[in-house]
Amino acid sequence: MIFPQGASIIGVGSTAITRDSGVPVGDLAADAVLAALDDSGLGIHDVDAIIDYHVNDSVSSIALARILGMENLGWMTDYYGGGQHAASILGNAAMLITSGQAEVVVVYRALNGRSGKRMGQSDVGWSEDAEFYRQYGLAGPAQLFALAAQRYLHDRGMDERDLAAVAMQFRAHARLNERALMRDPMSFEDYLASPFVATPIRRLDCCQETDAACALVITTAERAAGSSRPGVAIRGVVRGGGPGATAQDRAADLSALFSQYLAGRLWAASGMTARNVDLAQLYDAYTWVVLRQLEDFGFAARGEAGAFMRSGEGAYTGSLPVNTNGGLLSEGYIHGLNNVVEAVVQLRHEAGERQVSDASVALCTGFSGSFGSAALLARQDA
């Protein structure tokens, strides 16, 4: 889906990221949405559509509308699913706007992901076939993706140094981000001291479980042009996948992720290439997933993504800054939507110490193994 000048993000908002919010998830969602509306200069009564995604761990769009007293809504949608929606939900919002169904859309994700329902303890596979995974020791997502990670590292001739490079770089970014939950320095020795969850994945290779919410306000390009801040245009969104890391019994390549299937579609549809991207906010459920995406989207050659990260090219001062907020590994886990918020902040040139120089185009991704999504965002006045 390509949206030339069709829809733009004009507001973002987030709650504090904690391990025990102490409040219902509806309160988190409401606070994030109000913060995003305040950031956009709009009010509750300007909103005519609201969209979220969840895995039975959040507040529904209609319930949130009631909490906030929204009376003029024409469209409310709850998408069931995980990180694959982190980028594609922008396409859903843009379609509402470009089709004339809505003029102001709020997108949000809210969860008590540590004190409530914990993603790390979810069944793998679909509910009806999870029992077939459990008997082989695949107790949760980490065990499933550890198999794929082992295959990936073996095929590429890579090792723990390459995984550590991702964790360490994202922690360095988090240290410049006052919102990040994990801000202690991380050395290679610290990484090696982290216990294994499932070989080759250590605790520091895994995203966090946190309580938090974030939201975005999306409107027409014309309305965004009148905003006090530069709008961030949704240029293109793709979604899909194929057999791979989450369909291991049918996979020719156990380590194949969504990015293998979507990268070509994204570049072909948008007319852009990897060279046009100034920063990448890649879904980082696990460190190796970042490395695979860097290869698939064409930022690093096969087997060289680890060297790319070790060389500092993924730093906010490097050739392709990656997850400048610290990502899900170190900032916190809001199911990937917080990485999109960071892209908007960077493209508005409001990231402070970690600001990417002259950032005008960002790639954001959403991950659920071999199924996912990708979006290209661009500063509207660029």
Active site residues: 283, 333
The amino acid at residue 248 is Q
Structural contact between residues 54 and 119, judged by C-beta atoms closer than 8 angstroms: no
From the list 103, 99, 110, the residue with the least C-alpha distance to 74 is 103
Q: Which residue has the tokens 């905003």?
A: 227
β-strand pairing of 279-281 with 196-198? unpaired
C-alpha to C-alpha distance for 175 and 329, rounded to whole angstroms: 12
Partners of 219 in the β-ladder? 8, 104
Give the CA angle between residues 16, 17, 21 to the nearest 5°. 85
C-alpha to C-alpha distance for 283 and 155, rounded to whole angstroms: 22
Partners of 147 in the β-ladder? none
For residues 117-142, one letter each, b for 16 or more C-beta atoms within 10 angstroms of the residue's C-beta and e for the rest, the string is: bebbeebbbeeeeeeebeeeebebbb
What residue ranges in the chain does DSSP mark as E strands? 7-14, 49-54, 75-80, 104-112, 196-198, 201-202, 211-220, 232-241, 279-281, 361-368, 371-379
